[in-house]
Amino acid sequence: MSRSAALFAAVDVGTNSVRLMVGTVRDGRVEPLERLMRITRLGVGVDATRTLDPAAIERTLGVLGEFRSVLDRHGAPPVRATATSAARDATNRDDLFTPASDLGFEMELLSGEDEAALSFLGATSGLDPRDVPSPYLVLDIGGGSTEFVYGTSEPEASISLPMGCVRTTEQYLESDPPSPEELSNALGIVRDELTDVARALPHVERTCTLIGLAGTVTTVAAVELGVADYDREAIHHVRLTRDAVEDVFRTLATENAEQRRTNPGLEEGRVDVIVGGTLVLVSVLRTFGFEEMLVSEADILDGLVLSQAVGRSSAAG
């Protein structure tokens, strides 16, 4: 990597986690220098109260303070900081955005469509259609929402649905482990919600490659592979079969929290919401008949970095 290559940074403030990436761009893809994730559960209770919990705001601001120190260590590169589902749904988001600005993060509130487009940009960057055929369907399962975006070299249609690992858990899965009735009810509701995808993405049946992003997907892959410690290279672009996802779902859904946390690859902060997220993933595979999925560690963070690099190139031209 050239020492003169421009650095860019991205921060994604999600419903369940806050993430940072610092990297440079070469040949249309991001080369990460540092990638961090902290679970802060910003969206706890938002679905019921429509407000961000003060303690969750403080946890998130603490992580942003940590990330500011990391950025300063890298020479304070330009950063694009965005917030997604939890902030979209909360009436008091300025309680987070104003102090975040004091830390040097001018937060952008992304619409579901913008979130989907950036996820598509990140996930498909650097893919060779000869090895990974298009059209693509990018599936981004977050804490409070799930984005679907269909396209080839660029997004052609997208939809954001109000379901994710935290929201599904809080709404439908009260028992530990979830009861068969809770699971059946949640599966039925999610399946009904997915009918909107077929309407919004009329060519979804033409998808050649399903690409799965974000914590639920990468956690399921890590559990299936038995990757105890985070290893990006072990997970990035692994192909995960539907049978494997179904097997992980059956295991996690029948374990209580104490049993669940013994699974290699399952982070402590996801123990209580991973069943909800995996339920969404299984429902997508079943509903649309996908037999496998390409797992991608390149996601909205990569899209945010690429968007800055493209903007800089356009300005220079």
Residue 131 domain flag:
yes
**Alpha-carbon span 33 to 18, nearest angstrom:** 17
Phi, psi at 258, each rounded to 5°: -65, -40
Whether residues 87 and 164 fall in one domain: no
The pTM of this model reads 0.85
Percentage of residues in the chain with pLDDT exceeding 70?
96
**How much is the average pLDDT of 6-12?**
94
- Predicted pLDDT of residue 99: 96
Mean pLDDT of the chain: 90
**Alpha-carbon span 299 to 279, nearest angstrom:** 21
**Alpha-carbon span 107 to 59, nearest angstrom:** 16
Alpha helices in the chain (DSSP H): 46-49, 54-73, 85-89, 94-102, 112-124, 165-172, 180-193, 195-200, 214-225, 232-235, 242-253, 257-260, 274-288, 300-316
pLDDT tens digits, one per residue of 240-267: 999 999 999 999 999 999 999 999 988 8
Q: How many domains does the chain have?
A: 2
Whether residues 199 and 232 fall in one domain: yes
Whether residues 131 and 107 fall in one domain: no
Q: DSSP readout, 282-315?
A: HHHHHHHT--EEEE-S--HHHHHHHHHHHHHHHH
Q: Residue 24: which domain range?
A: 8-111
Whether residues 107 and 190 fall in one domain: no
Residue 314 domain flag:
no
Whether residues 284 and 194 fall in one domain: yes
* pLDDT confidence bin for 2, thresholds 50/70/90: very low
Please say if the pLDDT value at position 290 is more than 70.
Answer: yes
Kindly give the pairing relationship between strand 17-26 and strand 79-83.
unpaired
Pick from 81, 17, 108, 93: which is nearest to 50 by CA?
93
Please say if the pLDDT value at position 97 is more than 70.
Answer: yes
Whether residues 221 and 107 fall in one domain: no
Tell me the CA distances in angstroms from 40 to 2, 60, 61, 192, 226, one per residue in order. 35, 6, 9, 30, 25
Whether residues 72 and 149 fall in one domain: no
Most confident option among 164-173, 179-188, 261-270 = 179-188
CATH of the domain at 210: 3.30.420.150
**How much is the average pLDDT of 199-224?**
92
**How much is the average pLDDT of 124-150?**
90
Most confident option among 20-29, 31-40, 64-73 = 64-73
